[in-house]
Amino acid sequence: MALGQVVWIQTIITCMASIEAQPVDLTAHDTYISGVPHEEFARLRAQSPVCWIDEPKGSGFWAVTKYQDIIDISRDVETFTSSQGIRLEEMTAEETAARRTLMEHDPPSHTRLRRLVSRGFTRRKVEAYEDQIRELAVEVVTDAVAKGDFDFVHEVAMQLPMRMLGRLLGTPDSDGPFLVEQGDALLGNTDPDFTDHVVDQADTDEFRLMPFRSPAGYALFDYARQQAALRRTDPTEDLISQLLSTTTDGSELTEAEFNNFFTLLVAAGNDTTRYTMAGGLKALLDRPHLLPVLKKASPQQWNLAVDEILRWTSVTMHFRRTATKDTTLRGVKIAKGDKVVTYFISGNFDEDKFANPYEFDVTRDPNDHMAFGRGGPHFCLGAWLARMELRVTLQEFVARIQSMEQIGEEARLRSNFIAGIKRLPIRVTT
């Protein structure tokens, strides 16, 4: 037997034996209600960094949990394609085509789509929004802390991303709650708090051509169509007008491309920043000595703190690729067509990359975390915007309080994809 085969068989045995000893189902949405199973990820990194995981209703996949392997896969778009889906869900060719966004494209077609909007999200562009973001943050935080006891997620963390995204899209502030509700129904499609059509519990077949198999797709597509019609008669400078402009190859987006792109922005631009902020606050509540430290922090120290919050929370826990050919990773044979899942949440706690990874260190420097992905063409479009929103909102929040404490259990999203705290009751004194 060839050496490669021996390694491969041994790897599978290690995977299965250990899973038997410590059964944590990474695919089950319920697993994450009690928090991220960090011990399981640590075990996988140590014993089986490229591990085959069976799925009850899928073909199974390779779980990749080491930092450098995740970067290598993200970079190698020829071997690991995004075009067949980027979450665990397996889609038919018809579903994939109907729901394709820039995330499910590889370069060069990915580049054509991304260039339509990327200039609005550069670091310099986002720096120009700081005053606007601060103005919104002051409004949101002042209202919240005046309440004394409140749910941080509802009153603070969800407010700012929604309002800022609306400003960028050029949609009225009054439509914000509608967009948030629909965005929540998409990314929360496995949580009964956010949808009546929980994908693993209800029959969602009639929505299978909609983003996230969710009826919210219809509402968002209708809204996108109305906004496009408005811009066609009255062009503006906002993101929606940019989506309607000509791409690098001289063509315009089809209606389906436009609808899906708009919906992606609503889904990606809201919940991720919200849950990162909530997870960051939870880390601070658990470490009361950090409040006075942050109250005195310089902008540079705040930037480090925000990156540590991003690493610590790793809200988008994984993305998936599909092997386009037979290949090997760490001696493990991966066959053409296999799903390969890169666990950013694990890479961000890889002991070979981060010293004391389970220590929440707001001075960590350097901090090359992969909360926004790393190394590949799909690196988060909204990374600078999210960082700015997190820094400014948390700065304004800690500046206005003398103390804070958690006054009830936090509640976590039921999802194997997004790690989110959806309720965080707190009390502050000012």
Query: Residue numbers of the site for ligand HEM (CB under 6 A)?
Result: 74, 102-103, 114, 165, 264-265, 268-269, 272-273, 276, 315-316, 319, 344, 371-373, 376, 378-382, 385-386
Q: Least Å distance between CB 8 and ligand HEM?
A: 27
Phi, psi of 426 (to 5 degrees): -135, 165
CA atoms within 13 A on the CB side of 200: 17
Q: Which residue, 375 or 425, has its beta carbon nearer to ligand HEM?
A: 375
Q: Which residue, 144 or 306, has its beta carbon nearer to ligand HEM?
A: 306
Q: Which residue, 265 or 392, has its beta carbon nearer to ligand HEM?
A: 265
Q: Least Å distance between CB 373 and ligand HEM?
A: 2
As a whole number of angstroms, the distance between CA 280 and CA 259 comes to 32
As a whole number of angstroms, the distance between CA 49 and CA 141 comes to 42
Residue nearest to ligand HEM (CB): 382
CA atoms within 13 A on the CB side of 237: 2
Rg (C-alpha) for the chain, rounded Å, is 21
Q: Which residue, 11 or 161, has its beta carbon nearer to ligand HEM?
A: 161
Q: How far is CA 295 from CA 302, 305, 389, 428, in A?
A: 10, 12, 17, 14
Q: Least Å distance between CB 375 and ligand HEM?
A: 8
Q: Least Å distance between CB 144 and ligand HEM?
A: 20
Q: How many CB atoms lie within 10 A of CB 382?
A: 21
* Residues pairing with 319 in the sheet: 342
Q: Least Å distance between CB 131 and ligand HEM?
A: 18
Q: Least Å distance between CB 91 and ligand HEM?
A: 17
Structure tokens at 184: 């929540």
Spatial contact of 347 and 373, defined as CB atoms under 8 Å apart: no
Q: Which residue, 204 or 313, has its beta carbon nearer to ligand HEM?
A: 313
Of 328, 322, 360, give the one whose Cα is nearest residue 341: 322
Q: Which residue, 74 or 204, has its beta carbon nearer to ligand HEM?
A: 74
